[in-house]
Amino acid sequence: MTDEPPKRKAGRPKLPSGKKGNYNVSSIERKKREVRKRVKGAKQLERNAKKKLAQLNDKQANITHTRKLIDRGGLAVEENVKKLPKSVRAALHDNTQILFNPNAGPQTDFLAAPEKEVLYGGAAGGGKSFAMLMDLLRYAHNGNHRALLLRRTLAELTELVDQSRKIYPQAFPGAIFRESKNTWSFPSGATALFSYVDKDTDVTRYQGQAFTWIGIDELGHYPTPYVWNYLRSRLRTTDPTIETYMRASANPGGIGGWWIKRMFIDPTPPNDSFWATDTDTGKILLHSPAHPRKPGEPLFQRRFIPARLTDNPHLAESGEYEAMLLSLPEVERRRLLEGDWDVADGAAFSEFDRSIHVVAPFEIPYNWPRVRAADYGYSSPSCVLWGAVDWDNNFWIYRELYDKGYTGETLAQIITALEEDDPSMSISVLDGSCWSNHGTGPSIAETLTRNGVRFIPADKNRMSGKIELHRRLTLNDRTGEPRLRIVSTCTNLIRTLPTLPLSKTNSEDVDTKAEDHAYDALRYMCMTRQTGLPHAGMLNKVKEQTYEPINQIFGY
């Protein structure tokens, strides 16, 4: 044994099988070849990397531009198309009728609206359904966006699906519609389910599901607010970058016209945001006082955006469709052409016109005589109206109280508080049944009087009262103005008067089963005798709250 390493065997070293040795070339040549090979490999790698980078840049640019367009409230708007990446522009180029340019006015407002619940309602052909389809895409660039678009029947839905097929793949290249599931899938991972809900019970189909955008096209086809209210419970997301929205479109009238009007149209003038109210009581919906972050604060905002045919040049310009709508009977014409929500089938006061009879609040001159008229109810609402009479004997209804559950005592307290700054009433009338007393206890009228609020029984002649109100609503030939106007804060009177139906059995009267409390109070007011000339004392005293008997019969 020796410690020296073993001697190398002579001959060629063994090579792995399949490899050739460079035994016939010089060592320099060998090195050159090796370097060339490496450079070639590196160049290939560089080419691959450049290609990948270009693809990524293209994708990124595509997304950024599309997102910018969406955020601005429009997709494929002409001026913006020029800024799109080549690939997107090419896709849009051949199909110009698909390019979407929101119509100026209501359609643009609808697409930019930040309120939680928005109704886009009014004239036929105003571009409502089209706008719904586009609004659904608000967050289609976000993988967490889940949209649900509903109509009442499957047949109605088909129309929307067809339209979406023309628009969506252009707006979001790569968007795919899966017919079996009636669902759009966008490249981001966002989805949009197109479905229908016919009966109220059908909504349970969505139990346990969550959506970030819910829209109903033609909300007026639903007879009650049940579906709309239920779906609100399906609106949620855990993604803080997404705002959740509910959107609806509707034509005036229809079986659901009454509740839509109450939910979206009556609370405020069109286009104004307002805090969501309870459709039964009209009160603002609030968080519970124990809410950890928003104790007692209003829940969310609603808005009504009125649609007009004239705002949709795509249909209005030729004038053909307008001519069709003009040929409809008056009620339908007012609804579908003028987008008028106030006309009801067989409305008793079809002459009522918001633009003429409703005025913004103003300071009532102190020396205009004041009139108070009331219709009392406990389980049904009590309505108290306050009117002022100008020098031309015109009525200006400036305040209303409308709620149920008042005892005579609480009603008196509220009236007293509301009248704190009013001059004393020139006359106060109340439903005569409040004096009827078949027992020994106090009547409502007596309780009111004992609590400092005095009334006299109203003239209850139904027919004369109705005719007198018609007279006051029609325009005065001399002045061109109506003899009765209502301040816009009297929301319940404005809500119920125009839709109050005629009685089916007596065309001289209204349907007493309808919500007629505000009408009754107004009728009582119209039946008070007004000379229009305040008594001499009133002209002199400006703000003097002295007691003097006004009614000669009752001595107070």
Ligand X SMILES: Nc1ncnc2c1ncn2[C@@H]1O[C@H](COP(=O)(O)OP(=O)(O)OP(=O)(O)O)[C@@H](O)[C@H]1O
Query: Which parts of this chain interact with Mg ion (CB under 5 A)?
Result: 128-129
Question: What would the two tokens of residue 311 be?
Answer: 């705002």
- To ligand X, the closest distance from the beta carbon of 307 in angstroms equals 6
CB of 105 to ligand X, least distance (A): 11
CB 304 within 8 Å of CB 121: yes
Smallest gap from Cβ 236 to Mg ion, in A, equals 27
CB of 159 to Mg ion, least distance (A): 8
What does 126 interact with, of Mg ion, ligand X, none (CB < 5 to 8 A by kind)? ligand X
Q: Which residue is nearest to Mg ion (CB)?
A: 129
**Residues in a beta bridge with 284:** 277
Quick one: 193 or 325, whose CB is closer to ligand X?
325
Is 220:344 a contact under the CB 8 Å cutoff?
no
How far apart CA 145 and CA 490 sit, in angstroms, is: 41
Residue 279 binding target from ligand X, Mg ion, none, CB below 5 to 8 Å by type: none
For the bound state, the minimum distance from the C-beta of residue 392 to ligand X, rounded and expressed in Å, comes to: 41
Please, are residues 22 and 30 in contact by the beta-carbon 8 Å criterion? yes
Residue 315 interacting entry, from Mg ion, ligand X, none, C-beta within 5 to 8 Å by type: ligand X
d(CA 260, CA 479) in angstroms, rounded, equals 35
What is the token pair recorded at 263? 């939910």
Nearest CB to Mg ion, comparing residues 129 and 142 = 129
Q: How far is the CB of 186 from ligand X (least distance, A)?
A: 21
Given ligand X, Mg ion, none, residue 415, with its beta carbon under 5 to 8 Å by kind, binds none
Separation in Å, CA 418 to CA 359, 362, 396, 422: 20, 16, 17, 8
Q: In terms of CB distance, is 126 or 256 closer to ligand X?
A: 126
The residue among 128 and 262 lying less far from Mg ion, judged by its C-beta, is: 128
Residue closer to ligand X by CB (options 312, 492) is 312
Chosen from Mg ion, ligand X, none, partner binding at 164 (C-beta under 5 to 8 Å by type): none
Site residues (vs ligand X, CB under 6 A)? 100-103, 107, 124-130, 251, 307, 312, 314-315
Tokens linked to 113:
């609206």
DSSP state of 459: P
Q: Which is nearer to ligand X, 78 or 481 (CB)?
A: 78
Binding partner of 127, given ligand X, Mg ion, none, CB within 5-8 angstroms per partner class: ligand X
> Which of Mg ion, ligand X, none is residue 191 near (CB under 5 to 8 Å by kind)?
none
The residues near 218 (Cβ < 8 Å, ≥ 6 apart) are 129, 151, 152, 156, 249, 250, 251, 254
Side-chain-facing half-sphere of 282: CA atoms under 13 Å? 20
CA distance 147 to 209: 11
